[in-house]
Structure 1
């Protein structure tokens, strides 16, 4: 059986990522084609060959064939959408390394905006996080070299280096309207994907920072600890903020810890037969090669029924959105916070040579009720700001829909009008924010600059406190802002999509094939 390592999340280019991605990784470069192959566009291929020859003959200096053709492939693939790309040797190797929760770099996730490098999120407990880099920061220079005009790959290579060496980033922070340097020491990044703490008697907090190979067994161990220390558990907070994704099996496992057995977690649908799948929370669908047994087998039954609140924000993407969507559709948990990133597509990574691969969008994914979250995200049941005095910088956040070549939501015939309305609401938010900033005193501006990012799960975590209030039956302080990304659902959202795979009756359910260790891709 051909092995597949299904993988959802963000792709690490060493110290940084390009964009949030939902992935299937195939260990084989060959795949049987069940549909007739489209004829090659000979005229266009002839034109390509002529352009290539012209460059070789007349460009101002000699050009390496491999470098030129690789650039052509990268340009062809990246023009499709924000998540399709060609992976060279380094990218492909580090893609595989990051799922194990250990890689070298600064600990930031990035994309591009207006020719600059934009920080999606610093990873907790990493050099970038400790240096005070924030989501939304724009990197304008790397070691005094201008970023504008660099490809994302080149910017990543400039920031990459040996652990212990330093790199200076010049940061433009929109919310403060200022530019300043930050020096960060490179390090080996070890990501702890599951964190736990006990709150008031009877209440507990679990934070998942990413979905890695060990996430499901680590979560099971933490839940066992909670059950031992809180035998009369009354409520649980699951924090998915700033979690850009990870392995699909881990997302299914996390959802399965809280859902009834054989519940649908997510489905996918695309052109090829392999893309049409329904994933239930059965062991076959969250088993990974490193597992000796089912980590959820002996989980206390209380976690299937205990009241839950799931915290999300704009940096909750891919696998996080799958888990939040599954728990929301099943009415298993209240979703609180901000609308998620809104990436509802699946990418397949196939090796092309021994040390390169193609990452290509091959399917959309759907929540159990059949919703596509593409460009919409998971909308919170209870919108709550990150800070007690509001969350004005939310208007500056980049989501999937803000990418110029994002895919459309095929379920929603009114998407164009809805996106126009959303942009109008955002412009109104921006106008209000600018008016508020104009009225601030120098002292207030300085206080804003000195405000540190919230430490998730700490006593100062306002959003977490509101989740605890919800579980304890106390008043919840909802968002003060115009909520551009929490608008009422359209009729298209409320109806199950005709294009989404329908869940079969439980007796006829066929689990997706589990991966086999022997054929797993290895770092090159």
Structure 2
């Protein structure tokens, strides 16, 4: 008979050597008793050392000092040993970590398994495949911070503050932002069905979006009239400041006399890029921001600008400007007196850091809050522009899925949105009431004729795409915020 270690048991030894059995048992008893005395002696010694020198000396020999984890260990062991099915131990540990972080009730702190962590790192690299929308978890719901410029999400009409209810029919309720990202992202060319809610819309909006490669090109520059350049920064990635410096040089060669720095729809990104970007516009030595730790200790970051721009600058912000873009906006406003134009920003005043684990997973947590140069905390409040300017009402019209057919006698919120689009595009759909009547049909046919689309009087497929394209172009042509920025700059250009 063998015990669990594979060695011969005491009973077997006694059978093999009957004359020596008594002696053997006495030796065993003696060894056992001496072991007890030795344990008592070591315990007393450890206690003495602890009393004399403190905890630092005893840590290597002491038991786990986190006694508050005893419930966690006990729960883990019980589930591992007694649950009615075999469990994935790694999944159990991931769940424990995830639960701990969720208990912080902080939408910006999250645990990411290996796959989620890879997706997180992609978001600040050169490109990824998906729909191109920055999201965050808020109160158990997944909210859009901002779609990326030129992305499928933007083209489909996704707006800041939209709530994504489901992906391909599966609810996102209770998921973290990193978990939601994995469901929304996918290979280029594949489609994803989203259901979203939007303030002011009585019913959820159904969107079908075709995924694509989302390049993380973050700076777009163009020269407007009268020497005014507009440079849009869409996020803060690894090379954003270098991209901006290149754009500034290019615009200077085109005789740039004034600059519009467009941070609208910019959901943020890397803190160091925000600090370096703000420094391009702030005099050397002036404060860019303050980072305050839990203890109250503040780290003050100052501009290290070696050559400040000598042209007038204005900055555009909106409700999609968040985090790093708010750092830049607040910094240039308070430390360089650069005017802000647009509408109130999103309001994210915390700083996150990520810690990687050896298995490729990581967790991101809020480590501090950031304050403006003057010590203001804009969290959940946002930044008010110096000059408030709204975009035209039609700029906030909801997306209409090209797959959905809108025809005579239909009545819905989509019909109302289509009527408003037709009116904004210069056609008369009659009373805008969400009812597809004869006047709406006539307006649709007139639109189709001018756009060289088959005249059916029905809004679907190419007609829908053309209608939304016309509206996007009209928004660009009548960008009231850019027009105001140009007006302000012209007064400053010498």
Does 1:467 find its partner at 2:472? no
CA apart distance, 1:335 = 1.0
Residue equivalent to 1:403: none
Residue equivalent to 1:49: 73
Cα separation, partners in 2 of 1:364 and 1:40, compared to 1, 3 Å: farther
Picking from 85, 96, 117, the partner of 1:92 is 117
CA distance in 2 between counterparts of 1:150 and 1:369 reads 37
Residue equivalent to 1:172: 197
CA distance in 1 between counterparts of 2:376 and 2:166 reads 41
Q: 2:246 is paired with a residue of what secondary structure?
A: helix
Residue equivalent to 1:251: 274
Structure 1 contact 142–170 (Cα < 8 Å) conserved: yes
Structure 1 contact 308–332 (Cα < 8 Å) conserved: no
Residue equivalent to 2:233: 208
Q: 2:357 is paired with a residue of what secondary structure?
A: strand
CA apart distance, 1:369 = 2.0
Q: 1:211 is paired with a residue of what secondary structure?
A: coil
1:32-431 → structure 2 map (5 Å cutoff):
42=66, 44-56=68-80, 59=83, 61-80=85-104, 81-113=106-138, 115-148=140-173, 150-230=175-255, 233=257, 235-271=258-294, 276-282=298-304, 303=309, 305-387=310-392
Picking from 423, 428, 443, the partner of 2:432 is 443
CA distance in 2 between counterparts of 1:90 and 1:73 reads 16
CA distance in 2 between counterparts of 1:163 and 1:108 reads 15
CA distance in 2 between counterparts of 1:51 and 1:362 reads 29
CA apart distance, 1:191 = 2.6
Q: 2:353 is paired with a residue of what secondary structure?
A: strand
Structure 1 contact 455–461 (Cα < 8 Å) conserved: no
Q: What TM-score do you get using the length of structure 2 for normalisation?
A: 0.66
CA distance in 1 between counterparts of 2:123 and 2:174 reads 27
Which one scores higher on RCO, CA 8 angstroms, separation ≥ 6?
Answer: 1
CA apart distance, 1:445 = 5.0
Q: 1:162 is paired with a residue of what secondary structure?
A: coil
Cα separation, partners in 2 of 1:171 and 1:123, compared to 1, 3 Å: same
Cα separation, partners in 2 of 1:100 and 1:456, compared to 1, 3 Å: farther
Cα separation, partners in 2 of 1:98 and 1:272, compared to 1, 3 Å: farther
Structure 2 contact 130–185 (Cα < 8 Å) conserved: yes
CA apart distance, 1:45 = 1.5
Q: CA RMSD in A?
A: 3.5
Cα separation, partners in 2 of 1:271 and 1:370, compared to 1, 3 Å: same
CA distance in 2 between counterparts of 1:117 and 1:190 reads 23
Q: 1:325 is paired with a residue of what secondary structure?
A: helix
Cα separation, partners in 2 of 1:375 and 1:260, compared to 1, 3 Å: same
Q: What TM-score do you get using the length of structure 1 for normalisation?
A: 0.63
Residue equivalent to 1:291: none
Identify the structure with the greater strand proportion: 1
Structure 1 contact 206–238 (Cα < 8 Å) conserved: yes
CA distance in 1 between counterparts of 2:369 and 2:474 reads 31
Structure 1 contact 239–310 (Cα < 8 Å) conserved: yes
CA distance in 1 between counterparts of 2:229 and 2:302 reads 26
